[in-house]
């Protein structure tokens, strides 16, 4: 199999191997953490019982990072990315500890949102650093294979972590929402700690950037980050292909987010008893497990077809596959339809993401790559918030609407038709404002 062959070849590279350890542990912890906050925020029968309440929860968790994140992310082009991974995972471990204390003391819900927000914000920062550093540890000709193998292994690790988090909720001694959340969060904290330890195996300068700024005056740098981010937008638009890739990724994320919100509600109201949070959470964990199958299939098949399809053509094909998976939910809300859609749509989303990652990495210079993936994360979060808000407005109380599911099929097909006409080759690099030199920053 191409996936196994690519993994064996890439595994010979120490930098890729060590980055894989970090990604698996980090994203495995992400899955456990997401189950923990899902138990606390979305499967407590006393809260988040409507689409609007779930939309508000997602907005509270993601909107502030969408605003603050762009002013932090460009530091990926300034600081050693290996240091970001070490410190970031240690910070997440500390935040999980704080969240456990808040749950144990029955703290106000807003305080839980704040700590969860900070943890998720660090998570997106770490993923951007790993993605921006990947071209530094693999050869250019192996970049597509690495983008198929590493992010997908991470996504599968997150799904496995979610499954582990779901399992420990069933053996948790406290059946309350706080008890369910705490069991998964303890596992997440352990994974974050191991991820920080594994990062030490990576050389300090192995992930770049080429010319980091070791000392920064924070206030002076923050004043320039907004201008640099705007410069990055102009750069990506001028390069054309990365800009269009980000746009189609955001469209896919919005469509997937709508299905995600609907899946939470269907798991609670259609497949389970809304007054039994452990049952609803267990059913949703099964849905996540089936989604992991789709992510794994994308990792296997994307490299197989790389000689037959260009990256752009593969994205168009994935959008059409996503329409097919979404059509299952337009037919029925039965378990077979939800689980089948989870596999097919997840395959489409991950397959498209692999190609988008490769386009952005390949067509963006290293000096701009961190900022490009900051914009990537910003679009990712905005699209997910938009999907939650739209879901809150249009989804019924039980999460299932046949007309809405049919409309999503049509949107997938329209997106495929539009992107099929997008340019295939980037324009020549354009001059941009470089990061402030060290002498000016001190």
Residue 367 is part of a domain; what is its CATH number? 1.20.1250.20
Distance CA(230)–CA(403), nearest Å, equals 39
Alpha-carbon span 405 to 394, nearest angstrom = 11
Dig out the tokens for 440 from the structure: 């000016």
Backbone angles phi and psi of 224, in degrees to 5 = -100, -15
In a domain, 442, yes or no: no
> Does 430 reside within a domain?
no
Q: What is the DSSP letter of 318?
A: H
Distance set, CA 122 to CA 70, 116, 339, 364, 388 (Å): 13, 10, 31, 24, 21
The DSSP secondary-structure symbol of 398 reads: T
Report if residue 158 sits inside a domain.
yes
Q: Residue 441: what pLDDT?
A: 34
Domain limits for position 43: 2-424
CB atoms within 10 A of CB 17: 14
Token couple for 88: 């970031």
Cα-Cα-Cα-Cα torsion 134, 138, 140, 146, nearest 10 degrees, comes to: -70
How many domains are there within the chain?
1
**CB of 117 closer than 8 Å to CB of 65:** yes
**Res 179: pLDDT:** 61
Q: 440 lies in a domain?
A: no
CA 38 to the chain's CA centroid: 16
Task: Profile the chain (442 residues) by mean pLDDT over runs of 10 residues.
Answer: 81 91 94 81 57 67 63 70 92 94 84 82 81 87 84 83 80 58 89 95 86 59 72 89 93 90 79 61 77 86 83 95 95 90 94 90 84 82 82 82 93 95 81 47 32
pTM (predicted TM-score): 0.67
CA 401, chain centre distance (Å): 26
CA–CA gap between residue 389 and residue 383 (Å, rounded): 10
124 occurs within a structural domain: yes
Report yes or no on 242 lying in a domain: yes
- 429 in a domain, yes or no? no
Residue 272 lies in a domain: yes
């Amino acid at each position: 199999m191409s996936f196994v062959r690519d993994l064996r070849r890439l595994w010979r590279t120490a930098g890729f191997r060590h980055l894989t350890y970090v990604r698996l542990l980090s994203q495995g912890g992400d899955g456990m953490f997401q189950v923990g906050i899902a138990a606390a925020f979305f499967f407590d029968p006393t809260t988040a019982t409507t689409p609007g309440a779930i939309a508000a929860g997602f907005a509270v968790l993601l909107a502030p990072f969408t605003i603050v994140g762009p002013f932090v992310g460009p530091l990926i082009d300034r600081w050693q990315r290996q240091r970001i991974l070490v410190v970031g995972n240690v910070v997440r471990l500390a935040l999980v500890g704080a969240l456990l204390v808040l749950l144990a003391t029955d703290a106000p819900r807003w305080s839980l949102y704040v700590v969860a927000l900070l943890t998720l914000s660090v998570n997106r920062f770490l993923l951007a650093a790993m993605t921006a550093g990947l071209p530094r540890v693999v050869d250019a000709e192996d970049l597509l294979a690495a983008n198929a193998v590493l992010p997908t292994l991470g996504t599968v690790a997150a799904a496995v972590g979610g499954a582990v988090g779901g399992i420990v909720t069933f053996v948790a001694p406290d059946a309350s929402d706080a008890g369910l959340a705490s069991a998964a969060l303890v596992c997440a904290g352990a994974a974050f700690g191991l991820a920080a330890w594994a990062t030490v195996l990576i050389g300090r300068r192995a992930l770049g950037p080429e010319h980091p700024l070791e000392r920064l005056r924070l206030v002076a740098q923050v004043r320039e980050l907004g201008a640099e981010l705007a410069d990055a937008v102009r750069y990506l638009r001028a390069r054309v292909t990365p800009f269009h890739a980000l746009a189609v990724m955001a469209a896919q994320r919005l469509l997937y987010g709508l299905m995600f919100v609907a899946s939470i509600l269907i798991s609670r109201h259609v497949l389970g008893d809304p007054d039994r949070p452990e049952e609803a959470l267990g059913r949703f964990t099964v849905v996540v497990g089936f989604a992991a199958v789709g992510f794994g299939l994308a990792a296997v098949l994307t490299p197989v077809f790389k000689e037959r399809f260009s990256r752009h053509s593969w994205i168009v094909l994935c959008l059409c596959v996503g329409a097919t998976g979404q059509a299952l939910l337009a037919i029925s809300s039965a378990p077979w339809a939800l689980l089948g859609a989870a596999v097919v749509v997840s395959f489409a989303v991950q397959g498209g993401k692999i190609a988008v990652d490769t386009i952005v990495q390949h067509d963006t210079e290293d000096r701009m790559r961190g900022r490009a993936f900051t914009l990537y994360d910003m679009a990712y979060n905005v699209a997910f918030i938009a999907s939650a808000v739209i879901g809150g407005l249009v989804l019924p109380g039980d999460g299932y609407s046949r007309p809405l599911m049919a409309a999503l099929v049509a949107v997938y097909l329209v997106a495929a038709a539009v992107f099929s006409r997008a340019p295939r080759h980037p324009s020549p690099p354009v001059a941009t404002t470089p990061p402030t030199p060290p002498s000016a920053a001190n």
